[in-house]
């Protein structure tokens, strides 16, 4: 959760900033109406020892004092993003930039535009912290990397997108702003529809040279979801998929894994080049099947091929979706055919179908007692296991594969 701090005696601006934060930003606002402290440590003390992600110099404080403070803050605490609300002035904007202020906004900016500016400020702060952590880890010979969770099935219509979007919602409740879901069904992806989003940018923008070089540019192409996670949606035109290569997908996933704790991949049916590139990057694979003979046999063939290629991640999970005991197959039949245990069985549910049509994942607002929502919650739990259960699953996997 981000901490947004406003230093300003202007009550009207403070109210608008409060509206902006409450309008969809996962974080809290703290307002300091007194004069700007002389040193950053005094500011932190006034905040109870907490360092803000975004610091806003609001109307009513001395611009000279704000610029002096910003210069010191930028040198000593570069992880804090600073913004300023002041009348438009080219000379002031240049001085603010030199002092380390990221953006200067008009004092009468409306709450919706202010929310966007604050969101970008929080992203910039987060990116600086991650970069610093990566530099330190690199000095120690290691490299921090988020978990990449892919949702796969050789057959369409089994609920991969429903599963992927609900996984993103569930993980974001534990790690807000640390989760991104990527639609790798580049021709006919439904992540945008499944989340009721109208993205301004798509994966086509995210693989451009500018985004590939700079993670801040890449983040500008992500779409924020009200559930406190990000989405990178499929191209609007299916023909654009031909211009995106497997190597670009691999690089994109590596970039995102350096910036987020969880990268959730929703893939196309089958074993196309983009799906294989995603699978190769995965730390966790979630295989999805329905309760039908063609689907189960197709999944068995896919797993055999991938095992031969050495593309089966160490941590993998089998989800039986739209489970129905009256279709002539049992869970045991499926486990015997695949040689794998079913981790979670999600029952057929009208609630899931209704939520999919509305673009609101079940886990975004789960109904108490709904069995499908409970099962989807168990899928999320499988992806955030304890060390003990993770070790047990590795041991079981070796037995099954051999």
pLDDT digits (tens, 9 = 90+) for 310-356: 777 778 889 888 887 777 778 888 888 888 888 888 888 888 888 88
For the segment 151-209, what is each residue's pLDDT rounded down to a tens digit?
998 888 888 999 999 999 999 988 888 899 999 999 898 999 999 999 989 999 999 88
Distances (CA, A) of 22 to 118, 123, 211, 262: 12, 17, 30, 25
Q: What's phi and psi for 239, nearest 5 deg? A: -65, -25
Are 166 and 362 spatial neighbours (Cβ–Cβ below 8 Å)?
Answer: yes
pLDDT category at 401 given cuts 50, 70, 90 is very low
For the chain, the straight-line distance linking the first and the last C-alpha, in angstroms and rounded, comes to 44
Length of the chain: 402
Are 3 and 48 spatial neighbours (Cβ–Cβ below 8 Å)?
Answer: no
Sorted by sequence, the CB contacts under 8 Å of residue 375 that are 6+ apart come out as 344, 345, 346, 347
Sorted by sequence, the CB contacts under 8 Å of residue 177 that are 6+ apart come out as 2, 26, 122, 126, 228, 229, 230
Question: Hunting for tokens 């932190």 — which residue is that?
Answer: 44
Sorted by sequence, the CB contacts under 8 Å of residue 126 that are 6+ apart come out as 53, 177, 259
Q: What's phi and psi for 200, nearest 5 deg? A: -75, -30
β-pairing, 229-232 with 223-225? antiparallel
Ordered DSSP codes for 128-179: HHHHHHHHHHHHTT-----EEEEEE-SSSSSSHHHHHHHHHHHHHHHSTTSE
Question: Positive or negative, the Cα torsion across 55, 56, 60, 63?
Answer: positive
For the segment 277-302, what is each residue's pLDDT rounded down to a tens digit?
988 889 898 989 888 888 888 888 88
For the segment 69-106, what is each residue's pLDDT rounded down to a tens digit?
998 888 888 888 899 999 878 788 888 888 888 889 99
**Domains of the chain from N-terminus onward:** 2-136 (3.40.50.2300), 147-401 (3.40.50.300)
- What pLDDT does residue 131 have? 57
For the segment 4-56, what is each residue's pLDDT rounded down to a tens digit?
999 999 999 999 999 998 877 878 899 998 888 888 888 888 888 888 889 99
Are 205 and 221 spatial neighbours (Cβ–Cβ below 8 Å)?
Answer: yes
- Mean pLDDT over residues 99-116, rounded? 89
Are 218 and 196 spatial neighbours (Cβ–Cβ below 8 Å)?
Answer: no
Name the residue among 274, 41, 244, 62 with its Cα closest to residue 150.
Answer: 274
For the segment 210-249, what is each residue's pLDDT rounded down to a tens digit?
888 887 788 888 988 888 899 999 998 888 888 899 999 9
Are 108 and 96 spatial neighbours (Cβ–Cβ below 8 Å)?
Answer: no
Distances (CA, A) of 125 to 3, 122, 217, 397: 11, 5, 14, 40
pLDDT for residue 61 is more than 50: yes
Distance CA 279, CA 270 (A): 12
Q: Which residue has the higher pLDDT, 388 or 229?
A: 229
Q: Which residue has the higher pLDDT, 133 or 15?
A: 15
Distances (CA, A) of 356 to 5, 152, 159, 217: 38, 18, 10, 31
Distance CA 232, CA 215 (A): 14
Name the residue among 90, 91, 95, 26 with its Cα closest to residue 57.
Answer: 95
Helix (H, G, I), strand (E, B) or coil at 45: helix
Distance CA 295, CA 301 (A): 10
Distances (CA, A) of 283 to 226, 265, 396: 26, 11, 17
- What pLDDT does residue 133 have? 58
Are 184 and 266 spatial neighbours (Cβ–Cβ below 8 Å)?
Answer: yes
Helix (H, G, I), strand (E, B) or coil at 395: helix
pLDDT for residue 127 is more than 70: no
């Amino acid at each position: 959760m981000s901490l947004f701090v406003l230093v300003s005696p202007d009550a009207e601006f403070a109210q608008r900033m409060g509206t902006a934060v409450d309008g969809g930003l996962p974080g809290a606002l703290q307002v300091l109406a007194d004069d700007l402290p002389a040193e950053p440590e005094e500011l932190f003390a006034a905040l109870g020892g907490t360092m803000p992600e975004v610091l806003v110099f609001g109307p009513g404080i001395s611009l000279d004092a704000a610029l002096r403070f910003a210069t010191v803050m930028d040198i000593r605490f570069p992880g804090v993003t600073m913004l300023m609300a002041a009348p438009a002035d080219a000379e002031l904007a240049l001085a603010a930039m030199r002092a380390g202020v990221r953006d200067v906004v008009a004092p009468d900016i409306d709450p919706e535009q202010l929310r966007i500016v604050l969101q970008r400020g929080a992203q910039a702060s987060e990116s600086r912290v991650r970069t610093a952590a990566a530099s330190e880890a690199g000095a120690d010979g290691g490299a921090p990397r988020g978990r990449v969770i892919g949702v796969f099935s050789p057959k369409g219509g089994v609920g991969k997108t429903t599963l992927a979007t609900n996984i993103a919602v569930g993980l974001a409740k534990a790690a807000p702003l640390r989760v991104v879901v990527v639609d790798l069904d580049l021709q006919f992806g439904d992540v945008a529809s499944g989340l009721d989003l109208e993205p301004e940018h798509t994966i086509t923008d995210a693989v451009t040279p500018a985004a590939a070089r700079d993670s801040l540019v890449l983040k500008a192409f992500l779409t924020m979801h009200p559930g406190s996670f990000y989405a990178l949606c499929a191209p609007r035109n299916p023909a654009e998929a031909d211009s995106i290569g497997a190597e670009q997908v691999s690089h994109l996933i590596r970039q995102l894994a350096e910036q987020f704790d969880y990268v959730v991949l929703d893939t196309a049916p089958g074993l196309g080049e983009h799906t294989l590139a995603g699978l190769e990057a995965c730390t966790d694979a979630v295989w999805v099947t329905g309760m039908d003979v063609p689907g189960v046999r197709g999944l068995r063939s896919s797993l055999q091929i991938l095992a031969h290629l050495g593309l089966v991640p160490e941590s993998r999970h089998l989800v039986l979706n739209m489970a129905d005991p009256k279709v002539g197959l049992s869970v045991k039949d499926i486990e015997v055919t695949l040689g794998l245990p079913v981790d979670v069985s999600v029952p057929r549910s009208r609630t899931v179908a209704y939520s999919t049509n509305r673009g609101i994942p079940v886990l975004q607002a789960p109904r108490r007692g709904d069995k499908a929502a409970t099962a989807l919650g168990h899928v999320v739990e499988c992806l955030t296991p304890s060390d003990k259960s993770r070790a047990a699953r590795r041991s079981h996997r070796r037995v099954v594969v051999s």
